Each structure stands twice: as structure tokens, then as C-alpha cells.
Structure 1
Amino acid sequence: MIVVTGATGGLGSATVEHLLKRVPADQIGVSVRDTAKAQHFADRGVRVRQGSYEDPGDAFAGAEQVLLISGNDPAADLVSLHGRAIEAAVAAGARRIVYTSQHGAAPDNPYLPSGLHLATEAILGDSGVAWTALRNGAYGPLDQVLGPWQQTGEIAQPEDGPVPYTDRADIAEATAALLAGDRSVDGPVTLAAPTAVTFGDFAEIASGLTGRTIKRVVLDDESWVAAQVANSAPEQATHFMLTWYQATRAGYFAESGPLLAELLGREPRTVADRLAETI
């Protein structure tokens, strides 16, 4: 059985949908905080059990593989919570744990989540079972990444660097293919679109798609932070996001790899494909 945590979230839910196309429903289980929100899976034959990182309960019982979707609560001790889930999966007899890690995770990466992902990977390495850490490329919605460029004609953000922005739907499909397939991938691996682009590249692509001149405007860090806070963005969250820009400009997210395309059996969607859908 393949057990998926966080199966009512965006990535987890999409992964289960792809698993249902590849394996019988009775070979899939989900661990969710609120079982009512997963009733649509139960109705299709998926085993639904209540579980959380704080208290996994019996959600991992019978699991051969567990997909551990990393937590996203900035106020929580996520490393400890991930460790508790890993311990429960091992105790339940899981033979492999697949963890959604972060692209470019490195000890000196200034982007703050990097440290917690590396710490979780270290726990996996000491777990005694086979494990895979999918270092997923950035898959946030492009409107959040680029800002209101369609209204302003500008991509006005801090200095950045190349990033292989990746479609979350592609990551979900590839994750399901890995879980349901015969291929073994061990340790940390990059799962990201093959081409890294900058905001300058985005501006060129958007200009070509719209027939307008979309400008790339580079804001200094302090001005950007001040503007975000003036627009009611929480100051702590704004400084957190600034570490992302600092990491991109230092090249921490520049590298990619072939695994995503290999698992999909096709080329992943490009940023041009995704931008075209928003116009």
C-alpha cells in the first residue's frame, strides 16, 4: 500500500488523483487531519484514516511506501514533527519513505526552509529504511511570483537569479509515477523543470505573448520590503520572502536535472505554457 500524507492539500490531493490512474484504489491510503475532507477519496475505494504529524495514529498501518509531504506551518517545530511521522512510518513497516524536500537545499542557502529540509533528510538517512527526498522546484502560482504585471506592464521585484519554475501538476504526476513504478531513486534528487529562468526572461516571454512591452524593474531590497509592508504585508513574512530572492541571486536554485521529464515520459510544462494560460 502507498500512504499519502497531506492528501487534502494541493500537492497531496493531485498526487492521489494520479495514483488512482496507475494503481487500484485499495492499494492507496491517505492520512488526513479531517477525514470528512477526504470523503471523495473514500467513495472511490481509497483507505482514509485520521492522522497528523503530531499523532500519526494507525494511518501508516500496512504501508509499503509513505509519501511524507513536508509541513508548512512556520510557527511549528517541523523537524520534530517530520521526525515523529518518519518514526511512525518505520514502526508500521514501511519499506520506503518519499519526502517532499526543497530544490537547492544546502547548508549555507539563505532561504530559511533549507535548514529544516536538510535536517529532515538527515533523520531519513538515519531511519534504517530506503528513502527518497524529492527536492521539488518552486511551484508557486506565477501571479504570486511575478506580481500584477498584466495590470502594470512591469515585473517589479528585487534582484533575482535563475530558477527552474515548475508546474505543481507536473510534480504531482511525477511523484505518483515514482511511487507506482518500478524505478528506485535513493536519497536527495532534484525534481524540477529543465530550464531555469530569471524575471528578465519572464518579461521577454510575457512581451512576446501579449504583444506589449513588459519591463523588468529591479527594486532594491529595502524599497521592496517597505513597499510590501506599506501594502499591509506582514513584515516577518516579507523578510522571509526576501531570503528567497537572496538565494536565487546567489545561484542556489539554478541547477536542474532530467528526472522530472523521465518520470513524466514527456517534457514538463514551460513557464511560457503557464503564462499563456493567464493571458
Structure 2
Amino acid sequence: MIIVTGATGQLGRQIVDQLLTRVSADRIGVSVRDPKKAQTLADQGVRVRQGSFTDPAGLAYAFEGASQVLVISADKMGDEVVRLHRTAIDAAVAAGARRILYTSQMGADATSHFQACRDHAATEAALDASGVPYTSLRNGFYASSALQFLGRAAESGEVALPADGPVAWTAHADLAEATAAILADEGRLDGPTPPLTASQALTFDDIADITTALTGRAVKRITASDEEFRQQLTGHSVPAESADQLLGIFAAARGGEFATVDPTLATLLGREPVSLQSVLSEHLSAADGH
């Protein structure tokens, strides 16, 4: 049985939906904190069990009978998240899984400027030490994050962010489809994958230009200092630690950590990945109610 954690989240749900097009529902199990949110999956024949990375006994039940376990990284940073991931890895090993898969990130490295990438590197080290074959999916930076940073720039006419560098912004839907393909073809990729990216790496100067072209309204990219950006975030009640972690994204981008473009995702999909321009166009159309 293929077990997917976090199956009610943005990425996890799309992975399960894609997996259902490739294998029968009785071969899929999900481990979720709130089974009620996965009722539609249960209705399709997916095994739904409660499981949390904070509860090893619950994970033992959720992972029962696992042949593969996909550990979707928790939405936290720092030592706590690495401990949570280790708990999930240990539970997958105890359940007898033949392979553990993990949603890592391109740029995963102990020396990264971005805390999440250092956490991913620590989790990959735990996977390597587990003794079980594993696949670490080094996902491109989520395109949805670019939309969040862009904010209401299409309406205001400007986007003020720290200096950045090229980033291979990649759609959730493409990563979900590729992950399902890897799960359905067990052992297709071993260890850390190449970066799973879209075919372009773009800066926020590029994104401002794309937004201008899509809307017909000029959007200016303003470079804020790191301190100005930090103050802007904390002024909107973002905790100082979280503000520093977000700043780490820009420091890492300036260092070229997210600039690599790789053909592996396109190969897995059998087509070119969705471009950020397409993601942004869809987002703007939805915002306009079209």
C-alpha cells in the first residue's frame, strides 16, 4: 500500500488525486490529522487513518501495511520540523516500507541561506541513515509563493521586495503529477533527485514585466532593503523569526541557490512544465472573476 501523509494539504491532495488515475484506490492510504477533511477520499475507496508527526503510535497505525510512504514536509522550520520528519521516517521504517519518499526542495544544503533548505538537508541525512531505500524529491520553489510575494501588485502598480536572483518557480500541479508517477513506478528515482523545476528561472523584475504584459497596467519592481522588508513584515504582525526566515529566501536567491533549471520534471511529465506566466495568468483571471 502507498501511504501519503498530509493528504488534505495543497500538494498532498493533488498527489492523491493524480495517484488515483494510476493505481486502484485500495492500494492508497492517507495519514491525516483530521480524517473528516479526507472524507471525499474515503468515499472513493482510499484508506483514511488519523496520523500526526507528533504521535508515533498514531503513525504506526496510519502506516500499517505500507510498501511506500510519502512524507510530505511539515510547514515549519528549524530543529522542531527535523524532529517531526525523523519521527515519520522512523515510523515508515518500523512499518516495513520498502521505500520512503520525501518532499524536499531544490537548494537543500546544510550551508543554505534559507532555513527550510537547511532543514531539508538534515531530513535527507536522516533518510540516508534510515537504511531504507529513499527518494528525496527536490521540488522547485512553489509558484504559489511567487504569487504571495507579488501580492496586490497588479492593482497597486508596484511590488517592493528585497534584491533577489533567478528562481525556477514551479507549479504544485506539475510536482503532484510527477510525484504520483514516481510512486506508481516504484524505484524510478533513487536518493536525492535532480531539481524538479519548470523550464525558466525568473527574477521579480521578470515577474513584474510579465504582470505588466498580462494586465496592460504598468507594474514597477522596487528594491527594498532587507531591513525595510523586515520592518514591513513585523509591522503586519509577522513574528521577527518568521520575517528573518522569509528574508532567507531572498538571500538564497541572490546566491543562485534556486536558479538551476533541469529537464527531469519535463521528462517525468512527458511535456513541458507549466510556466509561471501561465500560473500568473490563471491567478489574475480568477482575481478578476473571469
* Contact 2:114–2:252 (8 Å) recurs in 1: yes
Paired amino acid for 1:251: G
Runs of 5+ unmatched residues, structure 2: 285-290
What's the offset of the Cα at 1:76? 6.8
Runs of 5+ unmatched residues, structure 1: none
Identity %: 51
Distance (Å, rounded) in 2 between the aligned partners of 1:9 and 1:104: 23
Q: Would you say 1:174 and 2:166 are equivalent positions?
A: no
Q: Are the structure 2 counterparts of residues 275 and 15 from structure 1 closer, same or farther at C-alpha, using a change threshold of 3 Å?
A: same
Q: Would you say 1:206 and 2:211 are equivalent positions?
A: yes
User: Aligned-residue CA RMSD in angstroms?
Assistant: 1.6
* Contact 1:50–1:57 (8 Å) recurs in 2: no
Distance (Å, rounded) in 1 between the aligned partners of 2:213 and 2:34: 45
Distance (Å, rounded) in 1 between the aligned partners of 2:235 and 2:217: 29
Paired amino acid for 1:26: D
What does residue 68 of structure 1 align with? Answer: 71
What's the offset of the Cα at 1:75? 7.4
Alignment of 1:227-246 (within 5 A): 227-246=232-251
TM-score normalized by the length of structure 2: 0.91
Query: Higher mean Cα deviation, 177-186 or 69-78?
Result: 69-78
Distance (Å, rounded) in 2 between the aligned partners of 1:224 and 1:81: 30
Q: Deviations over 1:7-58 (max 9, x none)?
A: 1111111110111111000000011122222111111111111211122132
What does residue 160 of structure 1 align with? Answer: 164
What does residue 90 of structure 1 align with? Answer: 93
* Contact 2:78–2:119 (8 Å) recurs in 1: no
* Contact 2:71–2:101 (8 Å) recurs in 1: yes
Alignment of 1:118-133 (within 5 A): 118-133=121-136
What does residue 288 of structure 2 align with? Answer: none
Alignment of 1:142-161 (within 5 A): 142-161=146-165
Q: Deviations over 1:177-224 (max 9, x none)?
A: 110125620111121212110011112212222222221111111112
* Contact 1:105–1:114 (8 Å) recurs in 2: yes
Query: Higher mean Cα deviation, 142-151 or 189-198?
Result: 142-151
Distance (Å, rounded) in 2 between the aligned partners of 1:138 and 1:13: 18
SS in 2 for 1:58: helix
Distance (Å, rounded) in 2 between the aligned partners of 1:95 and 1:183: 10
What's the offset of the Cα at 1:66? 0.6
Question: Runs of 4 or more off by more than 6 Å in structure 1?
Answer: none
Query: Higher mean Cα deviation, 188-197 or 92-101?
Result: 188-197
TM-score normalized by the length of structure 1: 0.95
Distance (Å, rounded) in 1 between the aligned partners of 2:60 and 2:267: 35
Distance (Å, rounded) in 2 between the aligned partners of 1:51 and 1:240: 28
Distance (Å, rounded) in 1 between the aligned partners of 2:198 and 2:18: 19
What's the offset of the Cα at 1:236? 2.5
What does residue 53 of structure 1 align with? Answer: 53
SS in 2 for 1:191: coil
Q: Are the structure 2 counterparts of residues 160 and 75 from structure 1 closer, same or farther at C-alpha, using a change threshold of 3 Å?
A: closer
Would you tell me which structure has more helix in proportion to its own residues? Answer: 2
Distance (Å, rounded) in 1 between the aligned partners of 2:188 and 2:147: 35
Q: Deviations over 1:118-150 (max 9, x none)?
A: 111111111111101111111134331212211
* Contact 1:147–1:156 (8 Å) recurs in 2: no
Q: Deviations over 1:225-246 (max 9, x none)?
A: 2222233333322121111111
Paired amino acid for 1:66: V
Query: Higher mean Cα deviation, 135-144 or 35-44?
Result: 135-144
SS in 2 for 1:48: strand
SS in 2 for 1:57: helix
Q: Would you say 1:25 and 2:25 are equivalent positions?
A: yes
